[in-house]
Amino acid sequence: MIGFLGLLTFGFYNLFFRRKRPIFYLFLVIFCVYILVNVKQYVIIAYMPALILWLCLGPINKLPIRQRWMIAPFLIIISAVIISILFPLFEQANKKYAIEQVMETAETTADYIHRTTPEGGSSYTLGEVSYTPMGMLVVFPRAVTVTLFQPFLYEVRNPVMLLSALESTLFLLGTFFVIFTVGPFRFSGYIFNNPFLLMCLVFSVIFAFAVGISTFNYGSLVRYKIPCLPMYGISIMIPYMLNRQRIRKLHQRNFSNSFKN
């Protein structure tokens, strides 16, 4: 699944941005979508908004920053309209992923996990959740945090949870390290000025929310969250590398100027 997700991204980039061997990459995109739909359909559903956003914002990437910021809001609105049109088609194709059905399934899963998991087990809670669109939006940050950064080390109950907690802790510390090293505003600038990085982050957040609000068990969460971790890692590491390149060029320029003086 992760391999075909990567191939889909590669094919999508070459088809729409490099415009290289369009027939081959069109076939590759269609084939990857077919595989993902038949293996894990919810992955491609979560990936679709990010791809559409990338497709709409990608062409303006070479424009000056001021022009980009002027055009981007309109393109984001266009992306939202396209997504709102396509999502009902997914719902009609598979009633399992209709919004009402998803909310009902999440509520049933949460109730079952909390009733059957012994105290001190590997379940987690998002607090009081109202399973309505607005209620789920309220717990959006909590669900994303659970998926990307939990279990915390103090929540460990067994050796398997320890491995998962170490992984989550590395992602948490890595996120804080990058943001504070690069700077919150510069980090945000790298993300929003690069449609590919924005796509990676949007997919990670959407997928993390979907998994976090529907799993309620760390043992299952460890497996379900895997597809979004590479994308999230890309979205935090590339800004760090770009910032290092900026600092290196700045030092080289200062050295050259001092040498000339």
How far is residue 90's CA from residue 201's CA, in Å, rounded to a whole number? 22
149 lies in the same domain as 86: no
128 lies in the same domain as 251: yes
DSSP label at residue 123: B
Q: CB under 8 Å to 127, separation ≥6 — which residues?
A: 139, 142
Q: Is 136 in contact with 213 (CB distance < 8 Å)?
A: yes
From the CB of residue 6, how many other CB atoms can be counted at a distance below 10 Å?
A: 13
Per-residue pLDDT tens listing for the chain (261 residues): 889 999 999 998 998 888 888 889 999 999 998 898 888 888 888 888 888 888 887 777 666 666 666 776 777 777 677 766 666 666 555 555 555 555 565 656 566 555 555 555 577 777 777 767 777 788 888 889 999 998 888 888 888 788 888 999 999 999 999 999 999 999 988 888 888 998 999 999 989 988 888 777 888 888 888 888 999 999 999 999 999 888 888 877 776 666 566
How far is residue 74's CA from residue 60's CA, in Å, rounded to a whole number? 12
Is residue 102 assigned to a domain? no
Q: Is 58 in contact with 19 (CB distance < 8 Å)?
A: no
Q: What is the three-class DSSP state of 82?
A: helix
143 lies in the same domain as 260: yes
128 lies in the same domain as 225: yes
Question: Which DSSP helix (H) or strand (E) runs through 210?
Answer: helix 195-212
Is residue 114 assigned to a domain? no
168 lies in the same domain as 258: yes
Which of 79, 95, 111 terminates a domain? The answer is: 95
173 lies in the same domain as 44: no
How far is residue 146's CA from residue 137's CA, in Å, rounded to a whole number? 15
Q: Is 200 in contact with 242 (CB distance < 8 Å)?
A: no
For the chain, the distance separating the N- and C-terminal CA atoms, rounded to the nearest angstrom, is 57
Q: Is 109 in contact with 175 (CB distance < 8 Å)?
A: no
62 lies in the same domain as 10: yes
The domain in which residue 157 lies consists of 124-261
Is residue 136 assigned to a domain? yes
50 lies in the same domain as 156: no
How far is residue 247's CA from residue 236's CA, in Å, rounded to a whole number? 17
Which of 55, 74, 95 terminates a domain? The answer is: 95
83 lies in the same domain as 151: no
What is the structure's pLDDT at 232? 93
| Six token digits for residue 233 | 């890692």
Is residue 27 assigned to a domain? yes
53 lies in the same domain as 129: no
Sign of CA dihedral 85, 90, 95, 98: negative
- Residues paired with residue 37 on neighbouring β-strands, in sequence order: none
Q: Is 5 in contact with 36 (CB distance < 8 Å)?
A: yes
What is the structure's pLDDT at 175? 93
Is residue 109 assigned to a domain? no
For the chain, what is the domain count?
A: 2
What is the structure's pLDDT at 219? 80
How far is residue 83's CA from residue 95's CA, in Å, rounded to a whole number? 17
- CA nearest 127: which of 216, 21, 243, 46? 216
DSSP label at residue 17: I
Is residue 112 assigned to a domain? no
How far is residue 161's CA from residue 151's CA, in Å, rounded to a whole number? 7
Is residue 105 assigned to a domain? no
134 lies in the same domain as 89: no
Is residue 116 assigned to a domain? no
31 lies in the same domain as 129: no
How far is residue 222's CA from residue 155's CA, in Å, rounded to a whole number? 14
What is the structure's pLDDT at 204? 92
What is the structure's pLDDT at 238? 93
